[in-house]
């Protein structure tokens, strides 16, 4: 006989079948809307001008021999990873500057740029000025991002393969959050978002991440040895405490949760705890996200030196700043950073 609780449930369903049908239709339409919205949005973003500069682009013009990088990357130094999880294959000036600044400050490291948009393409790179420019640096490698392969053998494998995952509203940022912790656990090295301008070599910052502001850690910069226990806990927490509908829950909030538990803390502070360092904000986040407009304000050489004295890299907060016009040339802080730390990209900006 049918259990009484199941019988009651069946009666309730039948008595409210029209409301249940309405709810199911609403959920389906919502998922379809998110899927269509992100597909159209990413399609628009991925379309951009293609520049056939392979014949006319001169490395000697943009990267003179005195500035070029000599020698081959050393296997003993960790890789520096950048990740593009959308289908975009038209890097921005900031993207190019981020990679160039790392290539210059890390001459003996492999600078690996992983792009999902290249995964289904042939071996040649799209014709775009940024790829031509970055190819001038022998330690830069631009490769397809195979997400199925990346997540295989990790707790995130089943998470990624769930068919409805791509319908979540923040799927691309969450996917980026997933990639960085898996890269650090599998391979180790350094991970950076593509809106950093790097001023100094980061290799001595090992098993470290930065404090964004009071009581919040950010994963835009990560540096860890492979198979580190902290990154393993981050992968576990990613799956066990998953919420793809809340912005930042799988990113800064995840890292903050795990670090507090790792150190038995209630409030995050600059410290080294069980071999993991929480770096003070001035190290990699000298401009708080609330003050991102300072990047577009004029600063003197003295102010610039004072601001960056203890800084290894500057996060530009592109999500907030990308629509702001930057005068080139100018004495704006961001323009001066471009000029000093990614001069080849800066030269291309001036020409354009």
pLDDT in tens, 246-291: 999 999 999 999 999 999 999 999 999 999 999 999 999 999 999 9
Task: Name, in order, each residue with C-beta under 8 angstroms of 252's C-beta and a sequence gap of 6 or more.
Answer: 212, 216, 217, 218, 219
> Residue 131 in 3-state DSSP?
helix
- Angle between helix axes 4-15 and 17-46 (nearest 10 degrees) is 70
pTM for the predicted model, two decimal places:
0.83
Tell which residue, 145, 90, 136, has the closest CA to residue 113.
Answer: 145
Q: What letters, b where the CB count within 10 A reaches 16 and e where it falls short, cover 143-157? A: eebebeebbeebbbe
Per the rule left: phi > 0, alpha: psi between -120 and 50, beta: everything else, 152 is: beta
The CB density around residue 172, as the number of other CB atoms within 10 Å, is: 18
- For 171-202, write each residue's pLDDT tens digit: 999 999 999 999 999 999 999 999 999 999 99
The CB density around residue 96, as the number of other CB atoms within 10 Å, is: 24
Residue 247 to residues 26, 157, 327, Cα–Cα distance (Å) = 23, 21, 32
Q: Residue 21 pLDDT more than 90?
A: no
Q: What is the pLDDT of residue 164?
A: 83
- Cβ neighbourhood burial of 231 (10 Å; 0-12, 13-18, 19+): buried
Predicted confidence band of residue 5 (pLDDT cuts 50, 70, 90) = low
The pair phi, psi for residue 15, each rounded to 5°, is: -75, -20
DSSP H helices in 16-161: 17-46, 59-62, 93-105, 129-134, 147-151, 156-161
Residue 278 to residues 183, 191, 221, 230, 281, Cα–Cα distance (Å) = 19, 15, 11, 12, 9
The second-level CATH assignment, the architecture, of 77-351 is Alpha-Beta Complex (3.90)
- For 23-73, write each residue's pLDDT tens digit: 666 555 555 544 444 443 343 333 333 333 344 578 888 887 645 555 566
Helix (H) or strand (E) holding 220: strand 216-224
Write the DSSP assignment of 273-295 as a string of letters: ETTEEEE-HHHH--S-GGGGGGG
Cis peptide before 225 (omega within 30 of 0): no
Task: Name, in order, each residue with C-beta under 8 angstroms of 217's C-beta and a sequence gap of 6 or more.
Answer: 209, 210, 211, 252, 255, 256, 259, 268, 278
Quote the mean pLDDT of the chain. 86
Predicted confidence band of residue 8 (pLDDT cuts 50, 70, 90) = low
């Amino acid at each position: 006989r049918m259990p009484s609780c199941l019988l009651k449930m069946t009666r309730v369903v039948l008595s409210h079948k029209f409301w249940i049908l309405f709810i199911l239709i609403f959920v389906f339409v919502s998922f379809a809307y998110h899927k269509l919205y992100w597909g159209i949005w990413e399609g628009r973003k991925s379309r951009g001008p293609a520049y056939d500069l392979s014949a006319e682009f001169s490395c000697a013009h943009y990267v003179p021999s005195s500035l070029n990088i000599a020698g081959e990357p050393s296997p003993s130094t960790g890789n520096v990873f950048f990740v593009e999880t959308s289908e975009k294959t038209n890097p921005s000036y900031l993207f190019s500057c981020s990679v160039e600044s790392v290539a210059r400050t890390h001459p003996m490291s492999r600078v690996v740029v992983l792009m999902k948009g290249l995964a289904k393409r042939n071996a040649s790179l799209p014709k775009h000025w940024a790829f031509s420019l970055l190819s001038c640096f022998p330690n830069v490698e631009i490769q397809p991002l195979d997400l199925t392969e990346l997540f295989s053998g990790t707790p995130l494998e089943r998470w990624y393969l769930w068919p409805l995952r791509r319908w979540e509203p923040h799927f691309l940022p969450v996917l980026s959050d997933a990639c960085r912790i898996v890269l650090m656990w599998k391979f180790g090295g350094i991970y950076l978002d593509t809106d950093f301008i790097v001023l100094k070599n980061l290799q001595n910052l090992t098993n470290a991440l930065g404090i964004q502001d009071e009581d919040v850690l950010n994963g835009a910069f990560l540096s860890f040895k492979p198979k580190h226990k902290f990154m393993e806990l981050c992968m576990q927490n990613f799956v066990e405490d998953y919420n793809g509908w809340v912005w930042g829950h799988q990113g800064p909030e995840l890292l903050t949760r795990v670090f507090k538990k790792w150190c038995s803390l209630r409030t995050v502070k600059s410290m080294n705890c069980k071999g993991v360092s929480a770096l003070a904000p001035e190290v990699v986040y000298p401009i708080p996200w609330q003050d991102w407009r300072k990047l577009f304000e004029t600063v003197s050489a003295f102010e610039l030196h004072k601001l960056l004295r203890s800084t290894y890299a500057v996060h530009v907060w592109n999500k907030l700043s990308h629509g702001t016009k930057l005068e080139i040339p100018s004495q704006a802080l961001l323009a001066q950073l471009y000029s000093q730390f990614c001069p080849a990209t800066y030269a291309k900006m001036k020409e354009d």
